[in-house]
């Protein structure tokens, strides 16, 4: 059972355009929703994150929009640049069924973004 | 420099030959985790540890073992590797998340394992 689903599977955007990546989750107990960015040959790195009591968070060109009732959140990249070309993972943090601690991150499958010059 | 290190970065081995991938972090993080990344499947958690001597299974633990004898180290052990364990492996660490504060997971550079 996939608890975090990303769409689309891949995305091609022209330089200067807006990239939008969507994520849907099932578990209402998730309490933290990060986006990770991964460049080829590197490990993922945190890009931006949001808590469910906030509807939007903006950091530079990157914005997370969060819709708690729809159980969806999305990443918007404004003025997309070729340097933004990477794989993007959404994730959600939940409670470990064995320990009860908020520590387990469940990742989506990732999407490859290509920004054309 | 705050970092997570993994060794080796690349490994080609044969079926059944025991191997260990090391992971070390210098940020005094309580939480450490191993993931495997496969095309079309994203990142899947193998095992995690919330502190020394505290480990638990993730989503795909079969065929793997871990240990946490020291806070900074979290090795991944494949007792009898098989070809379906060919993958890209990442170690990650973070502070513990008992509150709603952000818990950024820092990832290592990855280990590409091929089992023939």
Q: Is the pLDDT of residue B100 over 50?
A: no
For B93, the closest chain A residue by CA position comes to: A103
Q: Are strands A86-95 and A102-107 parallel, antiparallel or unpaired?
A: antiparallel
- Residue in B40, B42, B47 to test binding to A, most A beta-carbons within 10 Å: B42
Query: What confidence score (pLDDT) does residue B37 get?
Result: 96
For A40, the closest chain B residue by CA position comes to: B109
> Would you call A89 and B42 a contact, using CB atoms and an 8 Å cutoff?
yes
Is B28 in a helix, a strand, or coil? coil
Is A90 in a helix, a strand, or coil? strand
> Would you call B98 and A98 a contact, using CB atoms and an 8 Å cutoff?
no
- End-to-end alpha-carbon separation of chain B, Å? 36
Q: Does B97 touch chain A (CB under 8 A)?
A: yes
Q: Give yes or no for a contact between A19 and A114, defined as CB atoms under 8 angstroms apart.
A: no
Tell me which H or E stretch contains A62. Answer: strand A62-67
Is A101 in a helix, a strand, or coil? coil
Percent of chain B with pLDDT over 70: 95
Tell me which H or E stretch contains A58. Answer: strand A56-59
Q: What is the pLDDT along chain A (117 residues), one digit of tens a residue?
A: 568 999 998 999 999 999 999 999 998 888 889 999 999 999 999 999 998 889 999 999 999 999 999 999 999 999 999 999 999 999 998 866 666 665 678 899 999 999 999
Tokens representing residue A10 in the block = 């891949």
Q: Cα–Cα distance between A61 and A107 in angstroms, integer?
A: 23
**In the 8-state DSSP scheme, what is residue B47?**
E
Kindly report, residue by residue over B6-63, the tens digit of the pLDDT. Answer: 999 999 999 999 999 999 999 999 999 999 999 989 999 999 998 899 998 988 999 9
């Amino acid at each position: 059972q996939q608890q975090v689903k990303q769409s689309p599977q891949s995305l091609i955007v022209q330089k200067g355009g807006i990239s939008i990546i969507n994520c849907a989750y099932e578990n209402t107990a998730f309490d933290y929703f990060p986006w990770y960015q991964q460049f080829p040959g590197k490990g993922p790195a945190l890009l931006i994150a949001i808590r469910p009591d906030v509807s939007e968070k903006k950091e530079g060109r990157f914005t997370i929009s969060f819709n708690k009732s729809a159980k969806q959140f999305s990443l918007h990249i404004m003025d997309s640049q070729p340097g933004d070309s990477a794989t993007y993972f959404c994730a959600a943090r939940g409670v470990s069924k064995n320990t009860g601690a908020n520590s387990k991150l469940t990742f989506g499958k990732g999407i490859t973004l290509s920004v054309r010059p | 420099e705050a970092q997570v290190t993994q060794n080796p970065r690349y490994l080609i081995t044969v079926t059944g030959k025991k191997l260990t991938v090391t992971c070390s972090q210098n940020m005094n993080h309580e939480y450490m985790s191993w993931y495997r990344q496969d095309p079309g499947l994203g990142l899947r958690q193998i095992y995690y540890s919330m502190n020394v001597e505290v480990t638990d299974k993730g989503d795909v633990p079969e065929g793997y073992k871990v240990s946490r004898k020291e806070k900074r180290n979290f090795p991944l052990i494949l007792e009898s590797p098989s070809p379906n364990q060919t993958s890209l492996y990442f170690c990650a660490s973070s502070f513990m998340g008992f509150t709603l504060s952000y818990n950024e997971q820092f990832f290592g550079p990855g280990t590409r394992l091929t089992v023939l």
